């Protein structure tokens, strides 16, 4: 009496009149274990553990869980993988706001993972069942791997744009910010790097499943699987060895950034003006130290919300910041909440010099839904009135240029601005580079997330963004994690979280455009098109009429 293999078998419900050996797939319990394990391992690849090499086995486990499954089972396995990843990855949402926002965002992101699982399952299964690929096994391996990788990029792109502007967090590329593949992002972009990593994992899965499906097979099977694995290794090696794309440098800028260690979270008990005073005092201490050392800086950057409400309209604070800029001999970029004449609010960065407000201003382009504005307020108020009532101001999306021209002792400098979550969106990076930015300033306020992984995850994205654009980047937070990053993604200087301190670094001023920025949208579009076409072809070619199925 024979027994089924542990990993799966060609069961009765896989049978097809023209296919004596149906595509192999994991059995239900191993599929769910692989999905859950893959999601958890993918989270471990990013901060706080930061085990970036785990990104490849994590992606492989997730793909293995849905590989050549029926679509409905791929849907379930994809949901398990998504929940296992997103649940711990964004657990920082529970710190101040509790379980409801965390559960809601996790559910939305898990839904995208579930749809991804269904499409990969249907696509890889359909391609394997199609007669045109059964007679061309080499082509099958490549088609399945490219389809799965393209669908991975498609999922990341959709989740990063919809609903309510999307949440471009937790991308596969993000795991590599401190890894050996980081510099390749300057050639491929975020989506391109995610697609390449997913493709390496998918080639290994395709090769393994092909060998298993052939029950050992002959020399031809071994040759095909070896070639697939060799292709994956070669792609991985190229990404590891390629240096960051070189760009011309036009001088240097000595920049200082101030971390006030302020009580600036939503529920912090503080007096009005306390956050401003923390940053003014930290700036004064820095200037005392610079004077004692006989040194100067060209630019001072404060974090998001550091000047609190309406800095231009507050005479005393206006006078104090101008005094600090006069003493430093350098402009100060500060974060302030501003109200426009029409009554709308913006989360903004403003520039002060020795004479006061220069009029230069950037308004955050990607305000955070359910935090900086409340979409569909009446509907969500019925579900969670207490939480919805916490969102008092309705911030509007900025329309001003992402690049500010700053008059500094080093000359006029074009600074790209990305406030807080602005940094996670590809469109913001493109706009800054297209606007001629020579350096990127990324002021943020991470106080709402305490000592969780959120600020480290955000810095990881910012670090990769610096490499992608080829620009130095100043990531300065009210509480941390704060660092100045080189165009190659290296930390030039940083601050200990939850300390009042300042950091100073000399950074290059960079011009030109990396291949990632120039062709990133094309690369992303190509991956998405390949994924969508592969899934569609797989569904059509592998369609099995209901009357031919066996229960």
Q: What is the pLDDT along the chain (551 residues), one digit of tens a residue?
A: 333 333 443 343 344 433 434 678 999 999 999 999 999 999 999 998 999 999 999 999 999 999 999 999 999 999 999 999 999 999 999 998 889 999 999 999 999 999 999 999 999 999 998 878 777 888 899 999 999 999 999 999 999 999 999 999 999 999 999 999 999 999 999 999 999 999 999 999 999 998 886 665 555 667 778 888 899 999 999 999 999 999 999 999 999 999 999 999 888 888 999 999 999 999 999 999 999 999 999 999 999 999 999 999 999 999 999 999 999 999 999 999 999 999 899 999 999 999 999 999 999 999 999 989 999 999 988 988 888 888 888 999 999 999 999 999 999 999 999 999 999 999 999 999 999 999 999 999 999 999 999 999 999 999 999 999 999 999 999 999 999 999 999 999 999 999 999 999 999 999 999 999 999 999 999 999 999 999 999 988 776 655 545 44
Encoded tokens for 347: 């989360």
Maximal CA-CA distance, the chain: 90
User: Which residue has 């398990």 as its token pair?
Assistant: 80
* pLDDT score for 215: 60
**In 3D, which of 420, 423, 368 has the Cα closest to residue 190?**
423
Q: What is the C-alpha to C-alpha distance for residues 457 and 447, in angstroms, rounded to an integer?
A: 14
**In 3D, which of 230, 178, 265, 312 has the Cα closest to residue 498?**
265
According to DSSP, the residues that pair with 338 across neighbouring strands are 346
Q: Sort 533 into a burial class: Cβ within 10 Å, 0-12 / 13-18 / 19+.
A: middle
| DSSP codes of every residue in 334-397 | EEEEEE-TTS-EEEEEEEEETTEEEEEEEE-SSPPBTTTB-TTHHHHHHH-HHHHHT----BPP
Q: What is the 3-state secondary structure (H, E, C) of 137-156?
A: HHHHHHHHHHHHHHHHHHHH
Rounded to 5 degrees, φ, ψ at 295 are -115, 165
* pLDDT score for 12: 34
* pLDDT score for 219: 57
* pLDDT score for 24: 87
* pLDDT score for 19: 42
Q: What is the C-alpha to C-alpha distance for residues 421 and 459, in angstroms, rounded to an integer?
A: 11
**Angle separating helix axes 426-434 and 454-469, nearest 10 degrees:** 40
Would you say 445 and 475 are in contact if contact means Cβ atoms under 8 Å apart? no
Tell me what percent of the chain is helix, strand and coil, each rounded to the nearest 5: 55, 15, 30
CA 464 vs. chain centroid, Å, equals 9
According to DSSP, the residues that pair with 334 across neighbouring strands are 350
| Dihedral of alpha carbons 455, 461, 465, 471, sign | positive
Q: Residue 127, preceding bond cis, omega within 30 degrees?
A: no
Would you say 355 and 312 are in contact if contact means Cβ atoms under 8 Å apart? no
Q: What is the C-alpha to C-alpha distance for residues 183 and 487, in angstroms, rounded to an integer?
A: 10
User: Which residue has 């274990």 as its token pair?
Assistant: 33
* pLDDT score for 178: 95
Would you say 477 and 446 are in contact if contact means Cβ atoms under 8 Å apart? yes
């Amino acid at each position: 009496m024979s027994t089924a293999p542990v990993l799966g078998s060609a069961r009765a419900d896989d049978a097809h009149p023209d296919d004596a050996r149906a595509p192999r797939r994991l059995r239900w319990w191993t599929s769910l274990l692989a999905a859950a394990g893959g999601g958890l391992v993918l989270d471990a690849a990013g901060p706080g553990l930061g085990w970036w090499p785990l990104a490849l086995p994590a992606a492989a486990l997730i793909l293995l869980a849905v590989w050549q499954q029926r679509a409905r089972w791929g849907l379930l396995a994809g949901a398990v993988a998504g929940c296992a990843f997103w649940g711990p990855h964004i657990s920082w949402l529970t710190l101040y706001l509790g379980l409801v926002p965390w559960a809601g965002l996790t559910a939305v992101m898990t839904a995208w993972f579930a749809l991804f699982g269904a499409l990969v399952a249907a696509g890889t299964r359909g391609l394997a069942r199609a007669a045109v690929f059964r007679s061309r096994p080499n082509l099958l391996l490549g088609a399945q791997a490219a389809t799965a990788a393209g669908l991975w990029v498609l999922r990341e792109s959709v989740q990063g744009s919809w609903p309510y502007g999307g949440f471009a967090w937790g991308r596969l590329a993000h795991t590599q910010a401190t890894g050996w593949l980081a510099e390749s992002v300057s050639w491929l972009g975020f989506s391109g790097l995610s697609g390449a990593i997913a493709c390496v994992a998918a080639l290994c899965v395709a090769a393994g499943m092909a060998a298993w499906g052939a029950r050992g097979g002959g020399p031809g099977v071994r040759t095909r699987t070896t070639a697939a694995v060799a292709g994956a290794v070669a792609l991985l090696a190229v990404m590891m060895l390629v240096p960051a794309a070189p760009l011309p440098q036009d001088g240097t800028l000595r920049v200082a950034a101030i971390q006030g260690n302020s009580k600036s979270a939503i529920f912090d008990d503080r007096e009005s003006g306390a956050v401003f005073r923390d940053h003014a005092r930290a700036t004064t201490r820095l200037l005392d130290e610079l004077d004692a050392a006989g040194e100067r800086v060209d630019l001072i950057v404060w974090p998001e919300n550091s000047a609190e409400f309406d800095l231009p309209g507050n005479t005393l604070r206006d006078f104090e910041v101008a005094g600090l800029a006069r003493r430093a001999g350098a402009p100060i970029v500060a974060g302030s909440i501003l109200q426009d004449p029409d009554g709308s609010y913006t989360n903004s960065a403003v520039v002060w010099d020795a004479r006061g407000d220069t009029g230069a201003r950037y308004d955050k382009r990607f305000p955070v839904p359910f935090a900086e504005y409340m979409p569909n307020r009446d509907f969500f108020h019925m579900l969670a009135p207490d939480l919805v009532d916490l969102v008092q101001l309705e911030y509007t999306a900025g329309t001003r240029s992402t690049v500010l021209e700053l008059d500094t002792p080093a000359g006029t400098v074009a600074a790209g601005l990305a406030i807080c979550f602005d940094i996670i969106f590809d469109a913001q990076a493109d706009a800054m580079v297209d606007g001629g930015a020579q350096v990127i300033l990324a002021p943020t306020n991470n106080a709402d997330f305490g000592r969780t992984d959120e600020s480290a995850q955000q810095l990881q994205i910012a670090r990769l963004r610096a490499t992608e654009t080829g620009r130095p980047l100043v990531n300065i937070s009210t509480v941390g994690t704060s660092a100045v990053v080189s165009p190659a993604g290296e930390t030039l200087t940083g601050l200990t979280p939850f300390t009042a301190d300042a950091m100073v670094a000399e950074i290059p001023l960079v011009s030109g455009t990396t291949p990632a920025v120039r062709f990133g949208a094309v690369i992303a579009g190509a991956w998405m098109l390949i994924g969508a076409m592969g899934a569609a072809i797989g569904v059509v070619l592998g369609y099995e009429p209901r009357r031919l199925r066996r229960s």
